[in-house]
């Protein structure tokens, strides 16, 4: 999901990740708790899902493997 976030940021979508950025956490922050990381994953997943649901040309250009990965994450989040 962090790679997807970076992909969108490289394509000019930056303000959509404000909630995730407010957590000041990234996958490499090993000193943070598992609960902090889990919360960050859910927030980032929600923000990515919102982005992908929009009718915008940039999302149509998103590589298929990223769309497939995000759809898998959304399904997993729905099961928890």
In this prediction, residue 67 carries a pLDDT of: 74
CATH number of the domain that residue 57 is part of:
1.20.1270
First to last CA, the chain: 18
- Please name which of 77, 13, 71, 65 lies closest in space to residue 39, comparing C-alpha atoms: 77
In this prediction, residue 46 carries a pLDDT of: 87
In this prediction, residue 19 carries a pLDDT of: 94
* Number of independent structural domains in the chain: 1
In this prediction, residue 45 carries a pLDDT of: 86
Which residues of the chain fall below pLDDT 50? Answer: none
Measured CA to CA, the distance from residue 56 to residue 32 in angstroms comes to: 35
In this prediction, residue 7 carries a pLDDT of: 86
In this prediction, residue 11 carries a pLDDT of: 84
Give me the domain span that covers residue 28: 2-78
């Amino acid at each position: 999901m962090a790679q997807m976030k970076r992909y969108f940021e490289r394509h000019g979508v930056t303000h959509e990740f404000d909630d995730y950025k407010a957590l000041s956490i990234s996958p490499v922050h090993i000193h943070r708790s598992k609960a902090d990381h889990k919360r960050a994953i859910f927030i980032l997943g929600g923000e990515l899902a919102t982005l992908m649901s929009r009718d915008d040309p940039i999302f149509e250009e998103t590589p298929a493997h990223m769309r497939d990965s995000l759809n898998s994450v959304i399904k997993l989040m729905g099961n928890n």
